[in-house]
């Protein structure tokens, strides 16, 4: 059975891109945003000029700043920055949303302090609703241009996975399914840390050999920590693991790689963040992952060095030297 009313919480680039996918299947969407001025501008101009300039919004897009307007939706996508998920989910839980409505997390992150994944936060607020996740190598800038993209949808319930797959499948957007919700989320979140590191390598001008070695060891570290946190090893060999890691470490669209490159060139993190209108999730996730690794006793040299760099206790070249001069070991 297809969904009748779809709501998207988050009027940024990824929320807009997912609405474009749904529009290809003639599913009108209601998009919620917290910034009334931004929503008014987007509604008037039919363009999300702040986050996706140059893309004209289809007439099927409708916008609101009232979460109550989403109460009749039977599918709600949460596409906010990770730091806002708990607050927004709690607010949404006070609406008259049906307990049968499916909540789909499209946010990549791990909550600092609790170590909870985004779907776990949502499930705390909606204990009776089915919760699913969407992740994979999928830059919004290419999705709205209908460039071929593959992602993975995860849910404990097979019937929900099937419904979501049918909902998102188009001639340019191919969804796969998995029951490994934890692995999908962890792959999507942790890869942002390693994209920061790849950007630092670019900023230092270390070359292809260095970057290839860094990304290879990043995958090993991602798998090691991801399995300890509940993900399945095979999931990290797929779209939300190595697939997302590759695109985020190499792409010109990657915010995390770009932030890392600027760090590698010597810019201060505070200045970089102040100059951006979007969140680089790798920054907060570095701290969350570091906490989780310490809690489980997992060795994470790249994450550790990135935390030192973000804290300002190590310089970019010092971070690179610390990694390359670690005690020799078998692969």
pLDDT category of residue 137 using cuts at 50, 70 and 90: very high
Q: How many Cα atoms within 13 Å fall on the side-chain side of residue 11?
A: 27
**Secondary structure E strands in 137-211:** 149-154, 173-178
pLDDT in tens, 237-259: 999 999 999 999 999 999 999 99
**Is 23 within any annotated ligand binding site?**
no
Give the mean model confidence (pLDDT) for residues 100-110.
97
CA distance 60 to 215: 40
**Is 13 within any annotated ligand binding site?**
yes
Task: State how beta strands 61-64 and 75-78 pair.
Answer: unpaired
CA distance 16 to 290: 31
**Cα-based distances in Å from 165 to 134, 142, 253:** 10, 20, 26
Average pLDDT for the chain = 96
**Is 12 within any annotated ligand binding site?**
yes
pLDDT > 70: percent of the chain: 100
Catalytic residue from among 83, 146, 191, 329: 191
The segment(s) of the chain belonging to CATH 3.40.50.720 are 6-179
**Is 41 within any annotated ligand binding site?**
no
H or E element at residue 222: helix 207-228
CA distance 233 to 256: 24
pLDDT in tens, 300-318: 999 999 999 999 999 999 9
Per CATH, the homologous superfamily of domain 6-179 is: NAD(P)-binding Rossmann-like Domain (3.40.50.720)
pLDDT in tens, 272-307: 999 998 889 999 999 999 999 999 999 999 999 999
Q: Which residues contact 15 (CB under 8 A, 6 or more apart)?
A: 8, 9, 31, 77, 79, 106
Give the model's pLDDT for residue 244.
Answer: 97
Helix (H, G, I), strand (E, B) or coil at 99: coil
CA distance 7 to 68: 11
**Is 51 within any annotated ligand binding site?**
yes
Among candidate residues 117, 331, 154, 144, the one with its CA nearest the CA of residue 239: 154
**Is 140 within any annotated ligand binding site?**
yes
Dihedral angle of Cα 213, 219, 225, 226, to the nearest 10 degrees: 170
Which residues face 77 on adjacent strands? 8, 104
CA distance 239 to 258: 22
- Correct CATH for 188-324 of 1.10.1040.10, 3.40.50.2300, 3.40.50.300, 3.90.1150.10: 1.10.1040.10
Give the mean model confidence (pLDDT) for residues 39-45.
95
CA distance 191 to 197: 10
Q: Which residues contact 66 (CB under 8 A, 6 or more apart)?
A: 32
Q: Is residue 74 a contact partner of residue 100, using CB atoms and an 8 Å limit?
A: yes
Helix (H, G, I), strand (E, B) or coil at 77: strand
**Is 254 within any annotated ligand binding site?**
yes
Helix (H, G, I), strand (E, B) or coil at 12: coil
CA distance 89 to 260: 30
**Is 191 within any annotated ligand binding site?**
yes
**Is 11 within any annotated ligand binding site?**
yes
Residue 311 burial (CB count, 10 A): 11
Dihedral angle of Cα 208, 210, 215, 219, to the nearest 10 degrees: 140
Give the model's pLDDT for residue 279.
Answer: 85
The segment(s) of the chain belonging to CATH 1.10.1040.10 are 188-324
pLDDT category of residue 1 using cuts at 50, 70 and 90: low
Give the model's pLDDT for residue 124.
Answer: 98
Active site residue 191: yes
- B/e letters for 223-244, b = 16+ CB within 10 Å, e = fewer, are bbbbbbbebbeebbebbbbbbb
**Cα-based distances in Å from 264 to 192, 206, 209:** 16, 10, 17
Q: What are phi and psi of 99, to 5 degrees?
A: -70, -10
């Amino acid at each position: 059975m297809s969904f009748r009313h779809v709501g998207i919480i988050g009027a940024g680039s990824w929320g807009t891109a997912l609405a474009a996918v749904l529009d290809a299947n003639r599913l009108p969407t209601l998009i919620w945003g917290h910034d009334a001025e931004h929503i008014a501008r987007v509604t008037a101009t039919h363009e999300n000029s702040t986050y996706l300039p140059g893309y004209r919004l289809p007439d099927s897009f409708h916008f609101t700043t009232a979460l109550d307007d989403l109460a009749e939706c039977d599918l709600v996508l949460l596409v906010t920055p990770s730091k806002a998920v708990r607050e927004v989910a709690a607010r949404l839980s006070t609406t008259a949303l049906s307990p049968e409505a499916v909540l789909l997390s499209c946010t990549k992150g791990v909550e600092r302090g609790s170590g909870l994944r985004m779907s776990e936060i949502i499930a705390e607020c909606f204990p009776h609703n089915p919760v699913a996740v969407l992740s994979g190598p999928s830059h919004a800038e290419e999705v709205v241009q209908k460039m071929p993209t593959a992602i993975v949808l995860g849910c404990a319930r097979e019937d929900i996975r099937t419904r979501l797959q049918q909902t998102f499948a188009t001639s340019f957007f191919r969804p796969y399914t998995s029951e490994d919700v934890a692995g999908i989320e962890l792959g999507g979140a942790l890869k942002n840390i390693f994209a920061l590191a790849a950007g630092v390598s670019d900023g230092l001008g270390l070359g292809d050999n260095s970057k290839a070695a860094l990304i290879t060891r990043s995958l090993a570290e991602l798998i090691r920590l991801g399995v300890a946190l509940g993900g399945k090893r095979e999931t990290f060999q797929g779209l939300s693991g190595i697939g997302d890691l590759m695109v985020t470490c190499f792409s010109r669209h990657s915010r995390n790689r770009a932030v890392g490159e600027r760090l590698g060139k010597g810019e201060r993190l505070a200045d970089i963040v102040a100059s951006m209108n979007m969140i680089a999730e790798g920054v907060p996730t570095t701290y969350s992952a570091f906490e989780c690794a310490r809690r489980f006793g997992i060795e994470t040299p790249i994450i550790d060095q990135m935390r030192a760099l973000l804290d300002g206790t190590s310089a970019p070249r010092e971070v690179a030297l610390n990694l390359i001069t670690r005690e020799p070991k078998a692969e």
